[in-house]
Amino acid sequence: MTALDLVTSSAVPSTLSALRAPRPAGGSLVQQFEYGLDAPICLTWELTYACNLSCVHCLSSSGRRDPRELSTAQCESVIDELQAMQVFYVNIGGGEPTVRPDFWHLLDYAVDHQVGVKFSTNGVRITPDRARFLASSNYVDVQVSLDGATAEVNDHVRGVGSYAMARTALTNLAEAGFKDAKISVVVTRHNVGQLDDFKKLADDHGATLRLTRLRPSGRGADVWDELHPTQSQQRDLYNWLLNAGERVLTGDSFFHLAGFGESLPGLNLCGAGRVVCLIDPVGDVYACPFAIHEEFLAGNVLESGGFATVWRTSELFADLRSPQTSGACTRCQFFDSCRGGCMAAKFFTGLPLDGPDPECVQGYGESALADPDREARSSSQDHSHRTTRAGVGPVPVEIGFGIPAPSAPPVHACAENPLAGFDPLGR
């Protein structure tokens, strides 16, 4: 590892201020973030649409590789650019990123260019050898996806054999001495009763549990109705998260649950295009990994000016960074923390973006979903395998919540380990 380039400032001048509504001086971090940053802090980069699995809720409808996927050299230039913009780390995903033959090279390349990597995997390539290699790097985080604490619940969503594969990967990582792997769980109607089991699994592997929200994105749109947690499960989830505190990561998944009453501290806003974005396998830049749709397409990294120009000058992002209207939500007493919830969830369920989230805990989403004129939308690309899998049917699961030890409230900033809301001067 070369010495880090420490306090140098970005050489690329900001062109943001010319494009947007004037940014207020001072104010809270949430207010500052609403006006966007010079570079994202939560950048997801999907390296390939190819995947060995066909999870029914895949947010990027992955399966088959796209022939236009970025070449190794093109990926390296993206990394060079991220380094220049001081994007401190990227979340690499897919598809299954490790099936790219140059994956391990790109990992090294990023780390050597001061871009830390957290990558998501279903575990397929995490052999004992690879696990040892990963354990030797200080700047790589690994996140293994698992959507059931038992094979029955997991494989129903992720496919036969996927539970065993993920468990093997976790065992390999633990045995290689890899510190603090993440176990990433999409919370569904079927696994929401297994939260304690997931936590125990994480603890047993020296890993950290990460819970995310099922969003109706990609193939998730097809199964959202039957898999998203019920209203009463959402309340259980909220209570569980309150108790689990900082020991469980949630990204920006659950700020819509603030409507249950007690406001959740942390960064409560949709970061799409402001602090969050996605680079997809062909280099397209979207406002958020859950918003792969033309309406949220800001540009492509192969255009002249590259990613920095897309991030800093796209009209779409300028719009997302200007004050938004929130319709009926502005009259809700929980608006300050919930802010109307997730833009992608609204979009793909066909709800207006300036209204309540489909899972609004005040129940306004349900009535909006009942609108007979509502038209759900689907992602503008589909790389699913052409084979079909058995449909999703009910899975018997006992619902039961233990009593997690009380602790601090959940973390919400998209960045997963920030001093969220850190305010050194108390203003």
Partner 1 sequence: MAVPDVAVSLDEPWHLSPSVAIRPESFGALAYHFGNRRLTFLKRPELLAVVQGLDEAADVRTALANAGVPSDEWTAYVAALDSLASADMIRPRTGQDSAP
> Whole-angstrom Cα distance, residue 213 to residue 228?
8
Interaction site with partner 1 (CB under 8 A): 1, 3-7, 9-10, 14, 16-17, 23, 29, 32, 37-39, 41, 86, 88-89, 114, 116, 138-139, 141, 413, 415-419, 422-427
- Name the 3-class secondary structure at 30: helix
Of 183-191, 300-308, 332-340, 379-387: span binding ligand SF4 (CB under 6 A)? 332-340
Helix (H) or strand (E) holding 184: strand 182-187
In terms of phi and psi (left: phi > 0; alpha: psi -120 to 50; beta: otherwise), the region of 28 is beta
Q: Write down the residue that tokens 């290699």 correspond to.
A: 133
Residues 216-255 that bind ligand SF4 (CB under 6 A): 252
249/272 with CB nearer ligand SF4 = 272
> Whole-angstrom Cα distance, residue 114 to residue 89?
8
Of 63-71, 74-82, 336-344, 373-381: span binding ligand SF4 (CB under 6 A)? 336-344
Question: Would you count residue 272 as binding ligand SF4 (CB under 6 A)?
Answer: yes
Q: Write down the residue that tokens 């899975």 correspond to.
A: 395
Question: Would you count residue 344 as binding ligand SF4 (CB under 6 A)?
Answer: yes
- Cβ pair 113, 139 in contact under 8 A: no
- Cβ pair 248, 209 in contact under 8 A: yes
State phi, psi for 310 to the nearest 5 degrees. Answer: -60, -50
Q: State the minimum distance, in angstroms, from the CB of residue 353 to ligand SF4.
A: 10
Q: State the minimum distance, in angstroms, from the CB of residue 312 to partner 1.
A: 12
Of 137-145, 194-202, 227-235, 361-369: span binding ligand SF4 (CB under 6 A)? 361-369
- Please count the CA atoms within 13 angstroms of the CA of 152 that sit on its side-chain side: 9
Identify the residue among 343, 368, 397, 411 touching ligand SF4 (CB under 6 A): 343
34/357 with CB nearer partner 1 = 34
- Cβ pair 356, 329 in contact under 8 A: yes
140/351 with CB nearer ligand SF4 = 351
Question: Would you count residue 361 as binding ligand SF4 (CB under 6 A)?
Answer: yes
Look at residue 353 and give the partner it binds from partner 1, ligand SF4, none, a contact being a CB closer than 5 to 8 Å depending on partner kind: none
Look at residue 350 and give the partner it binds from partner 1, ligand SF4, none, a contact being a CB closer than 5 to 8 Å depending on partner kind: none
How many other β-carbons are positioned within 10 Å of the β-carbon of residue 97? Answer: 23
